[in-house]
Amino acid sequence: MTISVVPPHNLVIDAKDLTVSRGGAIVVEDINMQVRYGEFIGIVGPNGGGKTTLMLAILGVLKSYKGSVKLYGLQNTKIGFKSRIAWVSQNAANIPESSKITVRELISLGTVTFRNMIFPLDKERKESVQKIIEMVGLSKEADKQISKLSGGQKQRAVIGKALVSKADLLLLDEPLVGVDRKSRNSLLKLLDDLCHDQNKTIVMISHDLAAIKQTTHRIIYIDQSVQYDGKPEDLPELEILAGLRGIKKVHGEPGEETERKTELCCDEEA
């Protein structure tokens, strides 16, 4: 398996030899990962393989044990690029049923900065919010309480909150969880459009391998280290991926179990 090499000037994310330890144990090791402007990257791998840890290390939330991460050419410990990045966590759309916040109000929170937080929305911010509401397809639901929406609509709303912040790098952790098939397809189409029409860069973690293969430009398979980085159509079959993880077949080939039982039976008779 080969790791992509792209010109440094065209990179949004550039992780080199990244190793992260949590609780004294190495979770991700020697990660080399480059992401270009406008790419839609799918991150896949087993539970505990280090996908979310990798995201948090990219964001600078977790410190690296070894190696480095650059975002837009700067070390990720710098703050100059933070407004260009939006992180949508796995639980971002889990809005309590008791919450009264509307879709419009939630998305509006994405416009809040340290400088304007004590001021009401001005005309420019209101127009930005309305534009994003339309972009994520929630015009009819704009003034509904977000807790009353479907899973797919909630995901659209939290992505809208990220978009209105004017971020051009979206990091999404399992945005398809709890989303029905129709909404899932619609959400994936929205993300694809953001890449092609808005030149957004998207890195998305998902267990939905079929959706990832159909939608993303590139797949990176993580199991502590990078096991595959390439085109979705070239992703190895599940049996090969299991082999990369050291998992062997428990059951033999068809007929082997019957032969084994026959041998045992014959041995007992003897």
d(CA 33, CA 219): 11
Q: What is the pLDDT of residue 202?
A: 94
d(CA 185, CA 139): 19
Q: Which two tokens stand for residue 129?
A: 């919010």
Q: Tell me the pairing of strands 25-36 and 11-22.
A: antiparallel
d(CA 196, CA 111): 23
Q: What is the pLDDT of residue 255?
A: 57
d(CA 217, CA 195): 10
Domains of the chain: 8-235 (3.40.50.300)
List all residues 6 or more positions away from 203 whose beta carbon is below 8 Å from its beta carbon.
13, 35, 41, 43, 55, 58, 169, 170, 171, 172
C-alpha atoms less than 13 angstroms from C-alpha of 149 in its C-beta half-sphere: 30
Taking CA atoms, 38 is separated from 55, 115, 168, 217, 226, in Å, by 18, 29, 9, 10, 21
d(CA 148, CA 99): 9
Q: What is the pLDDT of residue 143?
A: 93
Q: Which pTM does this prediction carry?
A: 0.79
pLDDT tens by residue, the chain, 270 residues: 433 444 455 899 999 999 999 988 999 999 999 999 999 999 999 989 999 999 999 999 999 889 999 998 888 877 666 778 889 888 777 777 778 899 999 998 888 765 655 656 778 888 888 988 998 889 999 999 998 888 888 888 888 888 888 888 999 998 888 778 888 888 888 889 889 888 899 999 998 888 899 899 999 999 999 999 999 999 887 677 666 666 667 666 655 555 555 554 555 444
C-alpha atoms less than 13 angstroms from C-alpha of 52 in its C-beta half-sphere: 13
Q: What is the pLDDT of residue 55?
A: 94
What does DSSP assign to residue 38? T
Q: What is the pLDDT of residue 180?
A: 80
